[in-house]
Amino acid sequence: MSLNRYMSLDFSAIPILDHHAHSLLRQPAAKPRDWQQFFTESADPDIISHHVPHTLFFQFAVKALAGLLGCEPKPESVLAERDKLGQQGWIRRLIQDANITGMLMDYGFQSQDSYPHDELIKLLPCRVEPILRLETLAQQLILRHDTWDRVLDAFIAEVEGAQKAGYVALKSIIAYRTGLNIREWPRSEVEAAFGPIKELARRQGLIRLATQPLNDTLVIQALDISERLRLPFQFHTGFGDADVDLRLANPLNFRPWLQSDIYAHVPWVLLHQGYPYVREAGYLAGIYANVYTDLSLAIPFAVSETDMLLTQLLGLAPTSKLLYASDGFSVPELFWLGAKAARAGLERVLGLQVNNGVLSVSEAYTTAEQILFRNSEGLYLPK
C-alpha cells in the first residue's frame, strides 16, 4: 500500500483545548506589511517585508483564511473581509470555526497594547485560564526589592500562591535567557550576580533577566514548589526567535534532573516539540512518566513538515503524553491556523496508521481526542 494513502478521518467535531497561547493585541494590523510580522519568528525588517510572503506558512495562511472568508486569496482581501466583521466578530468566527473550547494563556509575552486577562476572557468565546511566566515575575520583583533575599522570598511566595491566585501552570523561558543546562549555584555566586542586575534596574527602570546563577536558582525554587503542589511546569524548548541559542534549547539538557527523580512529581511539559529536537522530545516523553510534549509553534509555522513532525512524536511518545497547543500570539488568526493544521495533520497521520493496521478507526478517534483536549484537560483542569 502506498505511504501516501490514508483512511479518510474527520476530527472537526472533536473540541480543542489549546494549552499554551498568548494574549491578543487591542489593535489589529491594518496593512499586509504589519500583518506579516506575525507569521515569522524573525524581527528582521527585510525578512518581514520581503521574505515572509514567500514562506509556505504565509501562503498556506492566506489561502486558508480566504477560504474561510470566501474572498480572493490575497492579504489585502483577507484583511478587508476581516475588518467587516469587527475584532470581536472575527475572533468569535475563528474560535468557533476551529471548535476551540478552552485556552491557557501566558501573559508574559505582551505589552501595554495587549489585552490583560480580565479583558481577554470577555473577548474570547471559550474558557480562558492564566499561566504564570516566571522570568517576567522575577523581573518585576527585582525592580521592587533591594536585596536578593527579599526578591527570593517574594518570588517563592508568589509561586507558592499561584494556584490559589488562579494560575493553572508555571512557565519558564530560561531557554531564551541562559539555556536549559540548569544547575545549582553557590549562594555567594548568586548574590554576586544580583548586584549588577539590581544596579541596572535602578538606572534603567527595567531589565531583561539573563544571568545564569539567578535564572537557574529561581527555576529550581519553582521546581521545588511544583514538586510539592503537582503544578504543571511548562518549559520553552527548541525553536524561537533570534534570542534563543538552539544549542542550549535542546530538551535533552533536562536529562540529569529527570534521571535524578528529584522532581518525579512535576508535570514537566516540553513546549514546541523541542523543534528541531523533535525525536528527542518524544524520547523523553516516552522514558519519563512525568514528561509531556506539545505540538505548538512548529505546527503551523513549519507547515510542510506537519505530518513528519507528528509521525516523529508518535514514534516513541505515548499518545497520552502529547498535548495540542497553538502558541498563537497577538492575532487570533494564529489560534485558528494552528488548530486547522494540527487537526488536518492528525487526520492524515492517524488515517495512515489505520490503513497500516496499527490503529482501528475508533482508536484513531480516541487518540485524536487525547491529543486535542483530553490530555490537557486532565493535566491542567482536573475535575
Q: Is residue 211 predicted with pLDDT exceeding 50?
A: yes
Across 171-199, average pLDDT: 97
Has residue 274 been placed in a domain?
yes
- The Cα–Cα gap between 62 and 74 comes to 6
pLDDT score for 109? 80
Angle at 109 between CA 33 and CA 326, to 5 degrees: 75
The answer to whether residue 232 sits within a structural domain is yes
Predicted pLDDT of residue 242: 87
Q: What does the pLDDT read at residue 347?
A: 98
Q: Which residue has the cell 500570539?
A: 329
**70 located within any domain:** no
pLDDT in tens, 367-382: 999 999 999 999 999 9
Residue 337 included in any domain: yes
Mean pLDDT of the chain: 96
| CB distance 98 to 340 below 8 Å | yes
pLDDT in tens, 136-182: 999 999 999 999 999 999 999 999 999 999 999 999 999 999 999 99
Whether 111 maps to a domain, the answer reads no
Residue 1 has pLDDT above 80, yes or no: no
Residue 7's pLDDT band, with cuts at 50, 70 and 90, is confident
Number of domains in the chain: 1
Domain annotation covers residue 43:
no
pLDDT of residue 3: 46
Asked if the model's pLDDT at residue 2 lies above 90, the reply is: no
Residue 375 belongs to a domain with what CATH number? 3.20.20.140
Q: Is beta strand 170-172 parallel, antiparallel or unpaired with respect to 127-133?
A: parallel
* 300 inside domain: yes
Judged against a pLDDT cut of 70, whether residue 317 lies above it is answered with yes
Q: How confident is the model at residue 4 (pLDDT cuts 50, 70, 90)?
A: low
- pLDDT category of residue 6 using cuts at 50, 70 and 90: low
What pLDDT was estimated at residue 87?
A: 95
- For 21-31, how does the pLDDT look when each residue is reduced to its tens digit (9 = 90+)? 999 999 999 99
Structural domain that includes position 285: 16-23+128-380
Does residue 359 lie within any of the structural domains? yes
DSSP H/E element including 368: helix 361-369
Dist. CA 333–CA 353, nearest whole Å: 30
